[in-house]
Amino acid sequence: MPRPRQFDEQRVLSAVQATFWDNGYAGTSLDDLLSATGLGKGSLYGAFGDKQRLFLRVLREYDEANDRMLRTWLEDADRGIEVIRSFVTAPVRDPSGEQARRGCLLANTAMELSTNAAEVAAEARRSYTATTAVLADAVRRAQLEGDLAPHADPDEIARAVLAGQLGLIVLGRIGQDPAVLSAVADTLLDGLLPAT
């Protein structure tokens, strides 16, 4: 019979996620993970597999939490267009720019890794497809609500909005002035959301 785990799984995974997010995948050593979690190698790898398994696990949980959050935004929003606006401005909402400099675990590590990491690239495609689907639903709702031109293609708009948001994440990551980022977000939204 396996011994019961002596640690709180969610606490350990949160610490692992924060470590990968701050240091990148290649920049995170086993020692970093052990010191962040307070576990020994045997306990950590025994419970979750090696560094790559552990990374994919926290990346998937991060992506799924983001997907759920976006879906909930859409369910709770008064109007569909608010969800699209919130999605684009999300990376630039912290006036200190600190959150923007941290970027996004998915985008950061996709840029770092995907040439040589088929599983990360596949996970990123899956996650961005899910995001695009929610954004396209928001576009359809905004069209029904009269806030967006009815002739615009929801999937095309959703993909361009995602691209714009990812570009903002890159610019936030390099410490671009948050006020400039906000202005860029507004220009993207004005250009990509054709009014009725």
How many amino acids of this chain bind a copy of itself (CB under 8 A)? 50
> What number of other Cβ atoms are within 10 A of residue 165's Cβ?
22
As a whole number of angstroms, the distance between CA 105 and CA 13 comes to 14
3-state SS, residue 192: helix
Question: Could you give the string, one character per residue 157-186, with x where binding to a copy of itself holds by CB under 8 A and - elsewhere?
Answer: x-xx-xxxxxxxxxx-xxxx---x--xx--
> Mask: binding to a copy of itself, 122-141, rule CB under 8 A, as x and -?
x-xx--x-------------
Q: And the tokens for 179? A: 């006020």
Per CB under 8 A, which of residues 80..109 are in contact with a copy of itself? 101-103, 107-108
DSSP-based three-state secondary structure for 32: helix
| 70 in contact with a copy of itself (CB under 8 A) | no
**Cα 110–113–115 angle (5° rounding)?**
105
Binding residues for a copy of itself, rule: CB under 8 A, are: 22-27, 101-103, 107-108, 110-116, 120-122, 124-125, 128, 156-157, 159-160, 162-171, 173-176, 180, 183-184, 187-188, 191-192, 194
